[in-house]
Amino acid sequence: MAKFLVKNAGPLHGEVTISGSKNSVLPIMAAALLSDDPCTILDVPALSDVEVMCDILESIGATIEKDYEAGKIVIDANHELRSETPAELGQRMRASILTMGPLLARDGRTRASLPGGCAIGARPIDLHLKGFEAMGAEIIFDEEAGTVTATTDGPLHGARIYLDYPSVGATENIMAAAVLAEGQTIMENVAQEPEIVDLANYLNKMGARVKGAGTDMIKIDGVKSLHGTEHNVIPDRIETGTFMVAAAITRGDVLVKNVVPDHVRPIIAKLIECGCQVEEAGDDLDELRVRGNIKELKGTDIKTLPYPGFPTDMQSQFMALLTTVHGSSTVIETVFENRYMHIGELNRMGAGIRTEDKSALIPGDVKLQGAQVVATDLRAGAALVLAGLAAEGETEIFEIRHIERGYAGLVEKLQGIGADIRRVD
Ligand code: EPU
């Protein structure tokens, strides 16, 4: 089984270039099912999650040309498509449910395996289904088979849909269904993440009429059909944040390139509160220089929230940093009910973190010690890599398949800025 071996090699220095966003590319790939023309997606990160989405789309009946080295895939859905993802593939990745909206809009029928309990919480899909139902779909659960089917006789119709929580996936799935619905759909209390804006831009390039993405209300005027397009995926803001924290936790000086500073404002703010220096750089202001070596770093408090609040996907990495700074910090996770599995692993490294309900108290002032640890999910694994960069001795990280779901070329990129990290099979 593959593992990472990480040793403290001192402060990281140099430049690193961020890849396209995992959480943008997955819904964009699924939305290619909405058109009979080929769609070209560029700046695609080479990730196992992207491969799984390719497998899912191929299993449904689309054909895909892949050139991961060039960061390009072309999806052609001009075929008769199956309405359901094989359970084995669906269960490998929750984002498989993002094919539901496009398939329902296009063929009037979609069936998905119910996403079971997952490592970071229960994660139901009630809000996705509520949206489909409001647009005229009938929803049928088959508890025994563990599937949910959404069907409609004619085209979906526009509706007014209020999301009880600004779910990223529900906003994406309902938006993708509504672009081909008859009439206008108004979605309220929607997610405002940059990935929502990227999907809306892509759909609009395909001929959709989506307005308001990036605010809490999206209006969609349905169109009869969508055409093919070419689209560059936005840079990954969580990979950006992870490398910013890598600079901070090693007290290094790293230039993080191909970033959108506006997408990482809470991370910039919290790093500055800790005592880091963060400067926007580059002719196009698409670089961030992060210095953790200007003064002694100190603790801060964090509460995860939907965008533009502090991202849940950066909570564990930031917690790793907070174990190493002067003074205590508190982290409150509000988005997922069970996203603290990294704490047990960080504590094996000497972090001394205590939890009480949704809060974690990080005492700080700790010299982390290398240990054998397990990546329980993607971001938990990233936190352990960061902790290993700052720990004394060697950190051995198992179950790295979780990390490889979401970080393209992590080992090479870290080595490029001076880290001592190896992948061992
Ligand atoms: N929720 C419901 N009902 C629903 C949908 C969501 O109760 O119908 C709840 C979830 O259980 C959770 C909260 O709402 O407690 C937020 O879930 P959301 O739907 O916003 O998340 P998601 O779409 O499942 C995406 C990202 C996650 C990221 C979250 C929050 C993708 C493929 N995944 O998940 O990314 O944490 O938004 O920002 O876009 C990651 O990259 O490591 C990752 C987990």
Pocket test for ligand 1, best of 118, 130, 335 (most atoms within 8 A of CB): 335
Residue at 418: amino acid letter: G
Which H helix or E strand runs over 30? helix 22-31
Minimal-distance CA residue to ligand 1 atom 5: 125
**In sequence order, which ranges of 192-253 are alpha helices (DSSP H)?**
194-205, 237-249
One-letter amino acid of 268: I
Spacing, Cα 124 to ligand 1 middle (Å): 9
Sequence-ordered strand ranges (E) for 258-298: 277-281, 287-291
Query: Which residues does residue 330 pair with via DSSP β-bridges, in sequence order?
Result: 361
pLDDT digits (tens, 9 = 90+) for 196-240: 999 999 999 999 999 999 999 999 999 999 999 999 999 999 999
**Per-residue pLDDT for 121 more than 80?**
no
- Alpha-carbon span 30 to 100, nearest angstrom: 9
Query: Which residues sit with their C-beta closer than 6 Å to ligand 1?
Result: 22-23, 26, 94-95, 121-128, 165, 167-170, 191, 312-313, 335-336, 378-379, 406
| Predicted local distance difference test score (pLDDT) of residue 227 | 98
pLDDT at residue 116 is higher than 70: no
pLDDT tens, 351-409?
Answer: 999 999 899 999 999 999 999 999 999 999 999 999 999 999 999 999 999 999 999 99
What is the identity of the amino acid at 311?
A: P
Nearest atom within ligand 1 for CA of residue 307: 38
What one-character-per-residue DSSP string does 102-159 give? HHHHHHSEEEEEPP--BTTB----HHHHHHHHHTT-EEEEETTTTEEEEE-SS--B--
* pLDDT band with cut points at 50, 70 and 90 for residue 114: confident
Q: Which atom of ligand 1 is nearest to the CA of 168?
A: 20
